[in-house]
Amino acid sequence: MKKQAVKWIVGVGKYVAGFGILAAVIYKYWEPDAETSSPGLRDLLQGPIAWEWLLACLLLLVVAASLTIVRWYLFVRSLNIPFTLRHAFQLGLLGLFGNTFLPGAVGGDFFKAYFLAKDSPGQRTAAVSTVLMDRAFGLFGLVLFAAVLGSVA
């Protein structure tokens, strides 16, 4: 078998395994649990939608993603790499899509790094390092947030 065919089969297998696990979880939690008196997924999906909370979550998602993209844009511009805010949002949203829908947590970062490096001849190492450093800054912010809230609690 060719190496390309093996890669394709492994890739499809990962998606099949992922969707299989998702189906098993949905099947297990579809009906209410009598022991803990928690509702099942069917009951939750048939319930009313709290539109004000849904819109508040959407607004927070947009603000958080925008701040992350602007942070990355400022980091790229600090290295004198020619880059526009519009292009930062294009690549940032592509990265967000990749991180959300591709297997693994850093698939979108790969796309951001690839396209920024492709558009930055002569500064490719710096361009790729901006994506890695932005991920490190995000992780540091998360750890700092947890430390502060843990100290307050």
Where would I find the beta strands (DSSP E) of 14-139? none
The residue whose two tokens read 């089969």 is 9
Instruction: Give me the half-sphere count of Cα atoms (radius 13 Å) on the Cβ side of residue 43.
Output: 8
- List 33's β-bridge partners, or say none: 38
Residue 97 tokens, joined? 């899509």
The residue whose two tokens read 């592509």 is 94
What is the full per-residue pLDDT of the chain (153 aa) written as tens digits? 688 888 888 888 988 998 999 999 999 989 888 788 788 888 888 888 889 999 999 999 999 999 999 999 999 999 989 899 999 999 999 999 988 887 776 778 888 999 999 988 888 999 999 999 998 998 999 999 999 999 998
Tell me, yes or no, if the pTM score tops 0.75. no
